[in-house]
A = this chain, B = another copy of it.
Amino acid sequence: MSGFVRDIQAQVPLSVDDREAVLNLPFRLRRMDPGSYLVREGSLPAQCGVLVEGFAFRQKTTGEGARQIMAVCVPGDAVDLQNIFLDISDHAVQMLTQGVIADVPRAALQELVLTRPGVGRAIIQLTLVEASILREWVVNVGRRDARERIAHLLCEFAVRLEVRGLAADHGFELPMTQEQLADATGLTSVHVNRVLKGLEADGLITRQRRHVSFGDWRALQDAGDFTRTYLHVPGVDELDHAF
């Protein structure tokens, strides 16, 4: 659970006791393949999964069968906070890559959250940050054009990974296919491809396989109308400094 704790503490400091309590939470590790489900729509999970390794995403399917991705989970994220106090999952969570999940019994985590104010506060904050990201996604998909959407998504990813020390200098491994990128931005994979080539042609990014590097971080942020406020990352703007 140490990744989870690090993740929590990136948001709020925990007291020694609270930290111990979280670290002592019982859990069971599970190795997951890409595409496997962590949560299914309509199910009632008895566990709250914490992503130890690998990436996952939240997803819903419309009546017509179109898919929309509403969130990408990175290592350290608690995947089921959204469900822990609700009884029916309104969306599915699926692995993006291979990875490892730590399953924590729902009841144990619930109790910790409700009885330890420090933990409660921390978990609530994590939930609220997720909601903030969702709001930004509504804006992204509702009011930005294709190029802005993609650029914005890339920026968000870069910052979130960087904060956890998962991004190499000037770039990162993007664990999504162009089709998944399309499902996250409300576009077509065909169009995503054209936009990516456009960003590359303009020198904002370079790509080799799934690896994306920022040719011009400042310009990419401008192209994506990106400001990191909504991520509620405490502390300085390290990524900006690095460029």
Residue ranges of A at the interface with B (Cβ–Cβ < 8 Å): 42, 58, 60, 62-64, 66-68, 70-71, 82-83, 85-86, 88, 90-91, 113-115, 117, 120-121, 124-125, 127-132, 134-139, 141-144, 185-186, 225, 229-230, 232
The 8 Å CB contact of A127, one of B58, B63, B127, B144, is B127
Given contacts A86-B232, A125-B86, contact A143 B62 (CB under 8 A): yes
Across-interface contacts of A141 in B (CB, < 8 A): 138, 141-142, 186
The 8 Å CB contact of A139, one of B42, B70, B85, B139, is B70
Across-interface contacts of A129 in B (CB, < 8 A): 86
B113 and A124 contacting across the interface, CB-CB below 8 Å: yes
Given contacts A132-B90, A134-B135, A135-B134, contact A142 B229 (CB under 8 A): no
A131 and B82 contacting across the interface, CB-CB below 8 Å: yes
A114 and B125 contacting across the interface, CB-CB below 8 Å: no
Closest B residue to A149 by beta carbon equals: B142
Which 5 residue pairs across A and B have the least CB separation, nearest first?
A: A142-B186, A114-B117, A134-B134, A63-B225, A141-B142
Given contacts A114-B117, A121-B114, contact A138 B138 (CB under 8 A): yes
Closest B residue to A110 by beta carbon equals: B121
* Copies of chain A in the complex: 2
The interface centre, meaning the residue of A121, A135, A136 with most chain B CB atoms within 10 A of its CB, is A135
The interface centre, meaning the residue of A120, A131, A186 with most chain B CB atoms within 10 A of its CB, is A131
The 8 Å CB contact of A67, one of B64, B130, B143, B185, is B143
Closest B residue to A117 by beta carbon equals: B114
B230 and A132 contacting across the interface, CB-CB below 8 Å: no
Closest B residue to A88 by beta carbon equals: B229
Closest B residue to A126 by beta carbon equals: B85
The interface centre, meaning the residue of A42, A90, A114, A141 with most chain B CB atoms within 10 A of its CB, is A90
Across-interface contacts of A63 in B (CB, < 8 A): 225
Q: Give A131 to B80 CA distance when docked, in angstroms.
A: 13
Q: Give A125 to B85 CA distance when docked, in angstroms.
A: 6
Across-interface contacts of A225 in B (CB, < 8 A): 62-64
- 18 intermolecular pairs with C-beta atoms under 8 Å apart: A60-B135, A62-B139, A62-B225, A66-B144, A67-B143, A68-B139, A68-B142, A68-B143, A82-B128, A83-B128, A85-B125, A88-B232, A90-B136, A114-B120, A114-B121, A115-B117, A120-B120, A138-B141
